[in-house]
Amino acid sequence: MESMYEKLMELPLFQGVSRDKLSELIEKTPFHFVKYNKGQQIVSANDNCTHIRFIISGDVRIDISSTNRRVAVSETLSGPDVIGADYLFGRNTFYPFNATALTECGILQIVKADFINILMSDKVFLFNMLNMLSRNSQKSTFGIMALSSGSIAERLAFIVTSLTQKGSKDIKIVYKQKDLCSILGVQRSSLIHALEKMNIDGVIDYTMTEIKVNSREALLEILHSED
């Protein structure tokens, strides 16, 4: 139980909450802990977002696909983390991605109505949620304001960092070359040239169907330093 408290207090939306408050909460609120085996689907794209879901232990693979083209971006989140907190409210309350257990995973689920009561019970929870949503909402504005070179690397970095979250690992883009060229609005030869340059710079490894991002931070650097 000791270590469970510690795990919970590390969750992005529970940080800074007091031990007493957390005990009180656990007594009052139904916390559902669900175990998923390696390979099991946790969330499917277009599932309704009826619960907030936290990764307590294990690794979860998230993958999101373009609506009209065969380009998919995937990333790994490790516990303690949260899955898709942006989709509980707003215009679309469904997940835009698949989430699959990459290892055995412990997931904490809280029904939306209970989570709202948690937010109203203590400012720490509310602040954490408002901060997370605002940070995500600000991301695109500041990302766009920083666009400057219009290079293919910059455009790719913008797309991939927008679709992935802070702290994620093993980012991969699986693509059909024709479709990635379309999305970026470039010729095949320019795409290859840009990927080759990013590879030499140590940012990515790539084949004709897959790009492996070595570090999300390096992509963010492309976004904020090119000029």
Which residues lie near its own copies (CB under 8 A)?
64-69, 86-92, 96, 116, 119-120, 123, 126-127, 129-152, 154-155, 159, 162-163, 181-186, 227
Q: Which is nearer to its own copies, 37 or 134 (CB)?
A: 134
Full strand arrangement of the beta sheet holding 71-78: 41-43, 98-101, 59-65, 71-78, 169-175, 210-213, 204-206
Q: Which is nearer to its own copies, 67 or 207 (CB)?
A: 67
Q: Which is nearer to its own copies, 90 or 202 (CB)?
A: 90
Report the C-alpha gap between 17 and 142 in whole angstroms: 30
Q: Which is nearer to its own copies, 41 or 45 (CB)?
A: 45
Report in angstroms how near the CB of residue 4 gets to its own copies at its nearest: 27
Report the C-alpha gap between 122 and 120 in whole angstroms: 6
Q: Which is nearer to its own copies, 103 or 127 (CB)?
A: 127
Report in angstroms how near the CB of residue 185 gets to its own copies at its nearest: 3
CB 75 within 8 A of CB 162: no
Q: Could you tell me the two tokens for 111?
A: 């029904």
Report in angstroms how near the CB of residue 202 gets to its own copies at its nearest: 22
Report in angstroms how near the CB of residue 196 gets to its own copies at its nearest: 17
Report in angstroms how near the CB of residue 206 gets to its own copies at its nearest: 19
Q: How far is CA 88 from CA 22, 34, 144, in A?
A: 22, 19, 25
Q: At what angle do helices 152-163 and 177-184 cross, to 10 degrees?
A: 100
